[in-house]
Amino acid sequence: MRLWTLHPKYLDARGLVALWREALLAQAVLGGKTRGYTRHPQLTRFRNSPSAMAAIATYLQAVHAEATRRTYRFDQTKIVCCDHAAPIMATQGQLDYEWAHLKAKLQIRDPAWLTSLASLASPAAHPLFHLVSGPVAEWEVVSHQRSASSP
């Protein structure tokens, strides 16, 4: 499960579809509708927010908006909560780490999409997140082969 801190506009088609599915799974986990993934580290920041369900709904709404912008047909009725959450703090280190992670994935999965992002030096965060300075998040499972400074 990967619930990106990055804005969904940077994801290729496969990545955006995967994010939608994974965020819907996260919604089910946070809503107590499944037994699996209950301790997944990606859910930490949602659980630590004042309302986990409002936070994941706000997250999903931005993913849905990006899908709609691309003329994909994601079913908005799958978002079970309509409340909007206050922004969640995320660190610049986490965003940088995810940017390197995404670029490594795209290099293999969709080099043309990666090329379209080549001029972008600093990506924007998902609208749910408010960026502050800091390192990679404690809950992140950091690959030893990739760091925030590697491509």
Give the global pTM: 0.91
In a structure prediction context, what are the per-residue pLDDT tens digits for the chain, which is 151 residues long?
799 999 999 999 999 999 999 999 999 999 999 888 888 999 999 999 999 999 999 999 999 999 999 999 999 999 998 778 999 999 999 999 999 999 999 999 999 999 999 999 889 999 999 999 999 999 998 875 444 444 4
| 144 within some domain | no
What is the span of the domain harbouring residue 78? 8-132
Contact 136, 143 (CB under 8 A): no
The number of domains in the chain is: 1
Single-letter amino acid code for the residue at 107: Q
| 96 within some domain | yes
| 68 within some domain | yes
| 142 within some domain | no
Residue carrying the six token digits 């301790």: 39
- Strands (DSSP E) contained in 93-151 are 129-132
Q: Largest alpha-carbon pair distance within the chain?
A: 42
| 22 within some domain | yes
